[in-house]
Amino acid sequence: MSLVLLAIAATALSTRGQVESPSSSPAAVGTFGLTFPRVDELECECPNTRSLLDIVWSCLSTILLCTWVSMHPNIPPPGENPIKTVLRRAKMMISTLIAPEMMLMFAMRQWLAARQETRKYRKQKWTMAHGYFLIMGGFVLMKGEEDLGTLSYDLFDKLHEDGDIEFPSLTKEELEDRSKGDPLSKAMAILQSLWFIIQCIARGAQGLAITELEIVTLAFCSLTGAMYFFWWSKPLDVGYRVPVYIKPESDYFPKFNLRRAEEIGDADRASKEIADALRADGETSDKFESRFSLRVKMKELRQAFRTLRLDITRRWRKMVTDIDAVTIIVSAFSIVLSAAFIVIILAVFAVAHFLFILTELIGGNDSQSIPPGQNRVSTFYAPPMSVTNDGRLMALYGVTGTIFGAIHCIAWRFHFPTNAESLIWRSMSLSITFIPILMPLYIHTITPLDDYITRGRPEEGFGARILYMFCVAVDTLALWLVILTIMFYVPARCILLVQSFVLLRDLSPTAFLDVDWQNFLPHF
């Protein structure tokens, strides 16, 4: 429904053309048959007008509603600090603000897995809510009174097929009672988004100016509506897990317990594990830290920032106490360079960190598995998909990403204060429109090449070896091209978000006029 309304909006808004600037004469604006007062007169509480605050509030409230309310996080670990739970949800919200099409892809991954579980356990009267509850880490495996960790998607299926567990007797009513969400609140959020889309269509039909911030909000409404569809049955803000007990007669034994026994029996290996787990300062490191090299680099980077901050403080104190002019100049120059270095490193670090999150959203960085004994699933956990579903997900990412970027292109001929800002908006809009196509295009075209490379370098034939080296070079070049292009996507999205607020400083007079619903709606 929202996509149909967006198609109508694109048609209506594209005919709006170039809107005159606020400095235009009344005669130029009067070509619409109306005489508009000055901008400062429009920013008042008058009938059929709206202020700048009304525009900002309408957009921000809709964006927050589309992002925060639509988020359905996985179950947190028992006893977690509520602040960490809120920060995890904020992480999902920020990811949606930067790359909503990837968050939509994550929602579809969970939806496909939940639907598969629902069909598998139809005889047990499982619903989509049950499938989601399993995927979001709602079941904990118990052996008597011992907590064996969160029950993963694949382990649950295996234990049920082997008859090792007592099937959980969790009804749909009990799940709905645990969930903090309800259809009414979700319906109100969807209606708010649809109302905003209808307002934009009405403004375009009446020839009223639409701000770039409203275009950005319109793009969010288009994709978050699809998120509501995929997460409609997913329980919201469930606080605790349901135990699933291993049958007393079962011979199942957790793998991580076997690994512990092996380490106890091998003294040399145990010593090596302990030595690797200890740092130079005697603190123990995270058990799974080595699996996420970016997190290790983040800790090293924080230590480097701490050292650099102390060095800057020391130089500043020395500069203040030293009366030598040359020393003051050199110290000040050194501080400026150090500050610039910190800003550059922080920018690179932020982009790299978000790329790490994007990799999790599409199924990388172990977001498709649960380590044995873990007390929760990862923030972006979803079970692995089949090859067919992976292809569908990539196609969905390309289509939704292109739609999201194309909505920004609606403002192609809008009024901009300067030509430079117009060029920035157009170039960034084109970038986020075509970049999402690269990922599915790369996967579908390079996959046969990867299959050939994985066979190994041919031992015989000079031509075959040359062809193999050429394929490796093409594959490496294409991979780096995609990586660099995706790295540009994050700054492009941030630039559009910031620019949509900056452009509010110079709006067309018609942007402050409200929709005249009496003329817009048919009446008799």
Residue 91: name the closest of 404, 489, 380 by CA. 380
> How confident is the prediction along the chain (524 residues), in pLDDT tens digits per residue?
444 445 545 544 444 444 334 444 343 444 334 444 454 544 445 567 888 999 999 999 888 887 877 888 888 888 778 888 888 888 888 888 888 888 888 888 888 888 888 888 888 888 898 888 888 888 888 888 877 888 888 888 888 888 888 888 888 888 777 777 667 777 788 888 888 999 888 888 888 889 999 999 999 888 887 888 888 888 887 777 888 888 887 777 766 544 444 444 444 444 444 445 444 444 433 433 343 344 555 565 566 666 666 666 666 566 555 555 555 566 666 667 666 666 666 666 565 655 666 666 665 556 666 666 677 787 788 777 776 677 777 788 888 889 999 999 999 988 899 999 999 999 999 999 988 887 777 777 776 766 666 666 666 666 677 777 777 777 777 777 777 777 788 888 889 999 999 999 888 888 888 888 776 666 55
Residues 316 and 206 in one domain: no
Do 197 and 314 fall into the same domain? no
Question: Which structural domain range is residue 447 located in?
Answer: 2-246+375-509
> Do 304 and 159 sit in the same domain of this protein?
no
- The DSSP-derived string for 17-68 is -PPPPTTS-HHHHGGGS-----HHHHSSS-TTB--HHHHHHHHHHHHHIIII
pLDDT at position 67 is 81
Q: Determine the Cα angle at 274 with ends 272 and 279, to 5°.
A: 110
Number of domains composing the chain: 2
Does the residue 129 lie in any domain?
Answer: yes
Q: Give the type of residue at 380.
A: F
State residue 401's pLDDT score.
86
Pair 383, 114: CB distance under 8 Å: no
Q: Going by C-beta distance under 8 Å and a sequence separation of 6 or more, which residues neighbour residue 155? A: 141, 370
- Please indicate, yes or no, if residue 259 is contained in any of the structural domains: no
Q: Contact, 37 vs 156, CB < 8 A? A: no
Q: Which of 401, 455, 13, 491 is nearest to 210 (CA)?
A: 13
Residue 379 lies in a domain: yes
Domain stops at, among 334, 365, 396: 365
What CA–CA distance (Å, rounded) separates 91 from 360? Answer: 12
Q: Indicate if 216 and 308 belong to the same structural domain.
A: no
For every residue of 420-470, DSSP letters joined together read HHHHHHHHHHHHHHHHHHHHHHHHHHHHHHHHHHHT---SS-HHHHHHHHH
Pair 485, 417 in one domain = yes
In terms of domains, do 352 and 398 share one?
no
Which of helix, strand or coil describes residue 284?
strand
- Backbone phi, then psi, for 278, in 5-degree steps? -95, 135
Q: Are 35 and 99 part of one and the same domain?
A: yes
Long-range contacts of residues 476-483, Cβ cutoff 8 Å, at least 24 apart:
478/442, 478/446, 479/442, 479/446, 482/438, 482/439, 482/442
Would you say the pTM of this structure is higher than 0.75? Answer: no
Q: Is residue 227 part of a domain?
A: yes
Residues in the chain: 524
Distance in angstroms (rounded) separating the CA atoms of residues 76 and 138: 9
Question: Do 301 and 435 share a domain, yes or no?
Answer: no
Region at 141 (left for phi over 0; alpha for psi -120 to 50; beta for the rest): beta
Instruction: Indicate the SS3 state at residue 147.
Output: strand
Residue linked to tokens 């995890």: 88
394 and 351 assigned to the same domain: no
In this structure, how many other beta carbons lie within 10 angstroms of the beta carbon of residue 294?
A: 14
According to the model, what pLDDT value does residue 377 have? 80
**517 lies in a domain?**
no
Q: Are 393 and 467 in the same domain?
A: yes
216 and 130 within one domain: yes
Q: How many CB atoms lie within 10 A of CB 518?
A: 8
CA–CA–CA angle 292, 294, 295 (5° rounding)? 70
Task: Return the beta strands (E) in 238-316 as ranges.
Answer: 242-245
**Residue after which a domain boundary falls, among 365, 396, 423:** 365
Q: 415 in a domain, yes or no?
A: yes
For residues 407 and 217, the answer to whether their CB atoms sit within 8 Å is no
What SS3 class is residue 486? helix
Residues 6+ apart with CB under 8 A from 371: 288
Whether the Cβ atoms of residue 206 and residue 515 lie closer than 8 Å to each other: yes
Q: What pLDDT is recorded for position 14?
A: 46
Residue 275 lies in a domain: no
388 and 358, same structural domain? no
Task: Please identify, among 342, 365, 388, the residue that sits at the C-terminal boundary of a domain.
Answer: 365
Residue 314 inside a domain? The answer is yes
